[in-house]
Structure 1
Amino acid sequence: MIACLRLFTALCLAALLAACSSSPSSSLGELPRTPDASLEQLLQQAAESQNPEQAALLRLSAADLAYKQHNFDRAQQILAQVTLEQLKPAQQVFASTLSAELAMSRNQTKEALVALSHPSVARLNEMPADLQVRSHTVHARALEADGQTLAAARERAAMSQLLTGDAANSNNDAIWSLVAALPVDQLQTQSNDVLGGWMSLARAVKSAGTLADQQNAIDQWRAQNPAHPAAIQLPTPLVKLKELANQPLSKIALLLPQEGQLASVSKALRDGFVAAHYQAQQAGQNPPEILFYDSSRIGSLDSFYSKAQADGVQLVVGPLEKPLVKQLSARSQLPITTLALNYSEASQTPPQLFQFGLAAEDEAREVARRARADGLTRAGAMVPQGEWGNRVLKAFRQEWEANGGTIVGVEHIDKPVALAQQVADLVQLRKSGNSSDPSRRQDMEFIFLAATPQQAQQIKPTLNYQYAGDLPVYATSHVFSASGDQNQYNDMNGIRFCETPWLLNPSNPLRQQVAAQWPQAGGSLGRLYAMGVDAYRLTPSLGQLKALPDSRIDGLSGSLSMSQSQRIERQLPWAEFVNGQVQNLPDTQH
């Protein structure tokens, strides 16, 4: 009876191992597979096995099963019991891949890349197709998370021939997302392999201007590369671009308040929008019809969208009011694609919602980019007391620290009478050694300033008085009144600030036309006119910006791009107050 039981157990173990393994070749070693057994059964069989290689195979299988059950800690514990160097090459690749997958589950990108640098991974192309796909996939994810975009695309391209159906389409979309994010100068390649084909496709599409030009570029590329995976199945964003080209906009709704607190803001936006429309007509284009709706009088967003659909509207520009934008962002779907003229705080928004505004956070990030481009690393900051100042400081801090900068001091501007003391506190004025001359702290290389012109007028002379006149000041556009007041500008000599192209380039023909009709467009209200112009120019380009993440539109409110969350982000040119005048500064490479 006991002999029969032993024989039965041996047969069970043999069957279990057969279910757990496959043999790519005798020299590479067997590979584990997910078996018809529980985690505990696998571990028990591993503990009872007299064969070290079979015990290791069972533990690899158990670790893999735990990973697939999302029991990551348990998978890590089991995998730690397997000695990598005692395994055969196929098992080493399997273990390294699983180790990388577990590292990525903990957001440990560097550890994943280290796991995949094991010498056995060099033999990946000798492995079964499913292991190749699994290893390339986690390697691509890790490289992308590490900012190695081109290398990530290379990993995905390497496995494209191994995939079919939905898996191939998803991989194509992922490759396109990676290569489309690369600047054109990084897409130069002479290689004729799969990745070279992807790069030449991205270069062709990015180099084309209009939707029609892009369609021609795609068609030409497909004719030249008929066997390429992207020619066989175009990536989804390029399919959508094709649809856009075949469905030109004929009716746009402009949804803005005509009454209430935002009426004057709304009027400037509307006038800029309409001015851009007339300019397009004068240039011989065939611009869409604009239908005007008053957001201060609509009963509900549902009734508005019903009316707009009945009117044949294809795109909505607006609303401006933050509560309405918040309502839109809370929905899962919108009946018509919408470019809201404000931002919600929601992280998840419907796929039909795009957001555009004059966000102070964009300017805070712009200051961080400019200061970094100028070689600075240690910042002080002065921002207003309250929620607005906190948001601006947070945006600056995130951008600054993400790129290796440090903030060594912060002051929140409150009452004018306290400003002088706050400046002194920030620069830490003190007596220096045996000298009778006071000195400022030396660990601060510049000050990030978000302030009104009146506050900046007080702060810059105070810095001079506090022996910190040599400390550079980088400010948001809020310091610039665009009033032409030379005395005010003199008080701010040396302050560098970012600003809209509209206000820094008075010779722009459209600005001249608009300011001739509405003189206030030449002052600080000009930013809103510029935003209105850019809202119009964005309407035919939302699909392009989404499909081509690295692409930009040179607008009058800034250089415009789109984030993954479909928010329009601005980069701005720079100027400096010099002897009571505004002097434009050369651009830097961000």
Structure 2
Amino acid sequence: MSKRRMQSMASLLVGVLTAWLGVAQAQVPDYIIQLNAAPLKAQAGAKEPAQPAAPAAKPAVAPAARGKPRIAVLLPLGSPRLGEAAEVVRQGVEAAAAVDGKAEVLVVAADETNVGARYQAALADGANVVIGPLTRQGIAAVAPLVKVPTLALNALEPGLPANPKLYSLALAVEGEAQQIAGVMYEDGRRAPLVVASPDVLSARLRKAFVEQWQAVGGKNARVVEPGAGLAAAAAQADAVFLAVDDQEAGAIRQALPPELPVYATSQLNSRHPPAALDNVRLIDMPWFLMPQHEAVKRYPRPDSALTMQTERLYALGIDAYRLAVLLANPKTPVASLRLDGVTGDLQLGRDRQFTRQLPLAVLGAGGLQ
């Protein structure tokens, strides 16, 4: 979707670069996976989906006509920790492939112990482009072997060998916190208060926001934890960023002055948000905020009712396939590559990682406005 179209439909878009994660954070799962102990667990009242089975040796999607590119999808489908998350990504890739029909998709089960060998086997089998790996450890194993366009589904770490054919599309939480900092600055806020918990995820949100706030020209943002001192700190602020999860956010919002503008990431977007979060401004992917947009509604929703966190992985699979098709075309101007994605307005940065611009929405009356 174009930036002009998203501005007209969602009020505001602010472009930011997705942060690279440092070595100290390398073993911390991205929040989309971290918040789902069982990613395929259905919503209350919905039928539980079947557990993922090991992929067959043949492509999971029927072969396309001759001359179409072959996309290998390397995912840890057999992993006890990430197998279910990988299954949701696979479903998204195959859903997009079924709609577009522009490529043959070959699904390959690959974990950290064999991903390098599986990658090389996929190339020998004629893969023109590769989607995956899903983990940073897997990306590190594959990086020296990359010979065709390869779209990793996690952040690229600074220490990876330079390779112009290795790209990244990730749902890292840092990118959303950075975008919120830009949104608040564009809204004229100059004295933000960041409410963050001691946990690792909240710390990542806090750090990314504070660094981006300073980068856009803001003065030092004040940071407090929930509890004592919150009211006094809020009295000195002109806006609040909630760097917490949805379980903490409601109580924190009730402790803040009702007229104080509050901002948040997609963590607070749920199908049934509590009334306490009315008027909170948040960003999320078009898959949820703009379901009737042409770039979104052409793709089917998951067959099983998933949590919203997990459904973001399904949307990630859709955009990964669409980008892979573009990367497989030698005529694609990769340096200026953009995509009106279901996970955001995607643009390739100089660091070979795709940034995501997300639309803005306001919570109200138990839903989005």
Q: TM (normalized to structure 1)?
A: 0.47
The change in CA–CA distance for 1:457 and 1:304 in structure 2 (over 3 A counts) is same
Structure 1 residue 339 displacement after superposition = 0.7
| Contact 1:447/1:473, CA 8 A, preserved across alignment | yes
Q: Please say if residues 93 and 317 of structure 2, whose CA atoms lie closer than 8 Å, have aligned partners that are also in contact.
A: yes
1:233-270: per-residue Cα shift (whole Å, max 9, x none)? xxxxxxxxxxxxxxx86111000111211122111111
SS of 1:303's equivalent?
helix
Residue in structure 1 matched with residue 334 of structure 2 by the alignment: 546
Please report how far the alpha carbon of residue 293 of structure 1 lies from its aligned counterpart in structure 2 after TM superposition: 0.6
Residue 69 of structure 2 contacts residue 325 of structure 2 at CA under 8 Å; is this kept in 1? no
Aligned pairs (5 A) from 1:85-96: none
Task: Choose from 73, 77, 82 the match for 1:258.
Answer: 77
Structure 1 residues 302 and 450, CA gap change in structure 2 (3 angstroms): same
- Mapping of 1:131-530 within 5 angstroms? 250-259=69-78, 260-281=80-101, 287-296=102-111, 299-329=113-143, 331=144, 334-351=146-163, 352-412=165-225, 419-427=226-234, 440-441=235-236, 444-463=237-256, 468-481=257-270, 483=271, 485=272, 488-507=273-292, 514-515=300-301, 517-520=303-306, 523-530=308-315
CA distance in 1, matches of 2:148, 2:305: 35
Match for 2:310: what amino acid? L
Separation in 2 of the partners of 1:277 and 1:322? 25
SS at the partner of 1:524? helix
CA separation of 1:498 and 1:545: change in aligned 2, threshold 3 A = farther
- How much does 1:516 deviate? 6.3
* CA-to-aligned-CA distance 1:275-300 (integer Å, 9 cap, x gap): 1111113xxxxx1111111013x753
AA aligned opposite 1:300: N
CA contact (8 A) 2:73 2:131 kept: yes
Q: CA separation in 1, counterparts of 2:206 and 2:87?
A: 30
User: Paired residues, what number?
Assistant: 299
* 2:350 partner amino acid: Q
Given that 2:347 and 2:355 are in contact with CA atoms closer than 8 Å, whether structure 1 keeps it comes out as yes
For residues 302 and 511 of structure 1, what CA distance do their matches in structure 2 show?
36
* Distance in 2 separating the partners of 1:471 and 1:314: 52
Structure 1 residues 424 and 526: alpha-carbon distance in aligned structure 2, compared to 1, 3 A threshold: same
Distance 1:309 1:404 in 2: 46
Is 1:568–2:357 an aligned residue pair? no
State the one-letter code of the partner of 1:575.
Answer: A
- Contact persistence 1:252–1:289 (CA under 8 A): yes
Contact 1:380–1:407 (CA<8 Å) still a contact in 2?
no
Shift of 1:391: 2.6
1:10-50 deviation per Cα after TM superposition (whole angstroms, max 9, x unaligned): xxxxxxxxxxxxxxxxxxxxxxxxxxxxxxxxxxxxxxxxx
Report how far residue 314 of structure 1 moved: 1.4
What amino acid is aligned across from residue 294 of structure 1 in structure 2? A
Whichever structure has more helix as a proportion of its residues is 1
Q: Given the superposition, is the C-alpha separation of residues 455 and 410 from structure 1 closer, same or farther in structure 2, using an over 3 Å criterion?
A: same
In the alignment, residue 309 of structure 1 is paired with which amino acid? L
Mapped to 2, the partners of 1:322 and 1:347 lie a distance apart of 11
User: What corresponds to 1:176 in structure 2?
Assistant: none
Give TM-score, length-normalised by structure 2: 0.74
Counterpart of 2:255, as a letter, is T
SS at match of 2:97: helix
Q: Mark the CA change 1:545 to 1:267 in structure 2 (over 3 Å): closer, same or farther.
A: farther
Once residues 382 and 349 of structure 1 are traced to their aligned partners in structure 2, the CA distance between those partners, rounded to angstroms, is 37
Partners of 1:354 and 1:478 lie apart in 2 by 25
CA distance in 1, matches of 2:167, 2:189: 34
CA contact (8 A) 1:305 1:336 kept: no
| Contact 2:202-2:244 at 8 Å conserved across structures | no
CA contact (8 A) 2:74 2:115 kept: no
1:402 Cα deviation from its structure 2 partner: 1.4
1:347 CA displacement? 4.9
Whole-Å separation in 1 of the counterparts to 2:310 and 2:72 = 23
1:343 is paired with a residue whose SS is coil
Distance 1:368 1:397 in 2: 8
Distance of 1:450 and 1:477 partners within structure 2: 11
Work out the CA distance in 2 between the residues paired with 1:554 and 1:513.
Answer: 13
Tell me the secondary structure at the aligned position of residue 309 of structure 2: coil
SS in structure 1 at match of 2:291: coil
2:255 is paired with a residue whose SS is helix
Q: Identify unmatched segments of 5+ residues in structure 1.
A: 1-182, 185-247, 282-286, 413-418, 428-439, 584-590
How far apart are the structure 2 equivalents of 1:449 and 1:546?
36
CA contact 1:342–1:356 (8 Å) conserved in 2: yes
Contact map agreement 1:318 1:340 (CA 8 A) in 2: yes
- What amino acid maps onto 2:215 in structure 1? A
CA distance in 2, matches of 1:391, 1:538: 27
Task: Give me the identity figure in percent.
Answer: 30
Task: Tell me if the contact between 2:116 and 2:141 (Cα under 8 Å) persists in the aligned partners.
Answer: no
Q: What amino acid is the match of 1:494?
A: N
**Residue of structure 2 aligned with 1:537, choices 304, 317, 322:** 322
Over alpha carbons, which structure has the higher Rg? 1
In structure 1, what is the Cα distance between the partners aligned to 2:221 and 2:186?
Answer: 19
Q: Judge conservation of contact 1:545–1:552 (CA < 8 Å) in 2.
A: no
